[in-house]
Structures are given as C-alpha cells and as structure tokens.
Structure 1
Amino acid sequence: MKYSFLLCLLSVVLMGCSSTGTVNADTLKYSSWQFISDDTNVKNNPIRIEFLDAFRVNGFAGCNRFFGQAEIKDGQLFVSNIGMTRKLCDAATNKREDAFLNMLQIGAPMQHTQSELILSSDLEWRFKLVEGRFD
C-alpha cells in the first residue's frame, strides 16, 4: 500500500515537472532563439529573437534588426514599441519580415519546450534554442 501510494505521488510530481507548453517571462529571460526553416534563403539570414532584462526583446527579422518590449498575456506573446533598422531587401525577405513583425505586434499564441519555441499565426514559426548565448 505504501509503495503504490509513493509511486502515485512520484508520478504526479513528475507530470508536474514536465513542460505543459505554457511559458512566462521568467522562462524565456536570457534566451536566444533561431527560426527553423528548410528554405535556403532563410537559412542564410535566419530570423532570431532574444529575450533580455525587463522582458525586452531584440533580434534579426531576416533583413533588419529589431527591438521592443515583450509581454505575455493569456499564453500569447506581444511585442510593443517595435523599433528597427530600415534596410530594403528582396521582396520575399521583406514579406517574411513584415509577417513576422506583424505577428509579434498583434500577438502570437506560444508553445514552449526546453529546446523549442513555437509562435502561431497564419503560419507556424518554429524556433530552436541557441545554446551558450547567455551562459
């Protein structure tokens, strides 16, 4: 009886420790993420996003660098006060960059594991963790 109770308790504890997919500012603080894509144009200029102190963000949107203030509400990531450089790139890169930054401004539902961040809009934006950036 004792052993079955301990096993049940241990399984509940372990389920609580596994990632639920929910994320908060403390989970992302001091992390860097790179967009995963099979497109060679994207691989040459990968989209990156970094979460800093006071939940500020900065990164590279494919053509321009950007920065802003992040907030998580109801499982969605919002970035306000976005500022950026103003380089002009090819039409496909500009379109992808506009879609990414627009998604951040209007809010994107998030899923998070230890090594992957998924932002959803019309598209699913998958990011892998960049190890060692803030170590």
Structure 2
Amino acid sequence: MKIAILSASALLLTACSSGPSTVDSNLMHHHWNLSAIDGEAIDTNIKSDLEIAEHLTINGLAGCNRFFGSATIENNRLLADPLANTKMLCAPEEQAIEQAVLTTLGTGAKINNKGEQLELIGEQHTLTYTLADWM
C-alpha cells in the first residue's frame, strides 16, 4: 500500500513539475519593444510593447491602445486568448501597427526567441521585438 501511494505521489509530482516549457520561462518576466513588422522598422515615435508575465498573462501597447489578457504556448506557438483592449482613436500609422499586433497575437504566432530579440511569426505578419528589460 505504501509503495502504491509513493508511486502515485511521485507520478503526480512529475506531472505537476512539468509546468511551463523552457520556451515559456525564456519569455516570461520580460519587457519587449516592437522594433519591426515584416522586416520594416517601425517609426520610433510610435511605441508598441509586450510584457509576458507569470502564468502567461500578457499586456502591452499595441499602437495607441493598451491590451491585456492571457496566452498559451503549444508546439512553439504563442496564442493569445481573446484580448481586452482600450478603444482610443488612433492615427492611421498607429492603427496599422495596432492591427498587425492584435491580429498576430490573436491568430497565433510561431516563437523565434533569440535572447535579445523575439520574433512572433504569424500567418499575416512577423513582429520583431527587442528586449527592453526584465520585469
């Protein structure tokens, strides 16, 4: 009986310890600034960023509106659950960036994490973020 309980406990601990994948831990607790969309540098006057926190909660500035919510990572793809966001009026340049960010996060993107640079490669857009700092 004790062996069965110990075996079950070990199995449960192993399952629980799998937690986030190594990709998750390399993304969490970072502040990323958007530097390019589809290989084209964005205007430095337009601020867009992404923060990935504990349990894959995400938030940031898409173009001129803030967004927040949660995400999942499966098969090296980041997919945001439906995100909440503010609804301020944006300039056309900001709106184009915002649309690319929200579409890419909402439809899912392959993760290419190069340490100081993070690429989120979606079906329509590739977002390139630069590491700003640890959270």
User: Given the alignment of the two structures, is residue 53 of structure 1 paired with residue 51 of structure 2, yes or no?
Assistant: no
- TM-score, with length taken from structure 1: 0.74
Q: Give me the identity figure in percent.
A: 26
Decide whether the 8 Å contact of 2:31 with 2:51 is kept in 1.
Answer: yes
- Ranges in structure 2 where 5+ consecutive residues have no aligned partner: 1-20
Partner of residue 28, structure 2: 29
Matched length? 110
Q: RMSD of aligned C-alpha atoms?
A: 1.7
Partner of residue 104, structure 1: 105
> How do 1:1-135 and structure 2 match up within 5 A?
24-37=23-36, 38-40=41-43, 43-121=44-122, 122-131=124-133, 133-134=134-135
The one-letter amino acid of 1:117's match is L
CA distance in 2, matches of 1:126, 1:96: 12
Decide whether the 8 Å contact of 1:116 with 1:126 is kept in 2.
Answer: yes
CA distance in 1, matches of 2:35, 2:97: 13
Quick one: structure 1 residues 87 and 24, their matched pair in 2 at CA, closer, same or farther if it must change by over 3 Å? Answer: same
CA distance in 1, matches of 2:52, 2:94: 23
Residue by residue, what CA displacement relative to the aligned partner does 1:97-135 show, whole Å, maximum 9, x if unpaired?
11210111110111001111001123321111012x42x
- Ranges in structure 1 where 5+ consecutive residues have no aligned partner: 1-21
- TM-score, with length taken from structure 2: 0.74
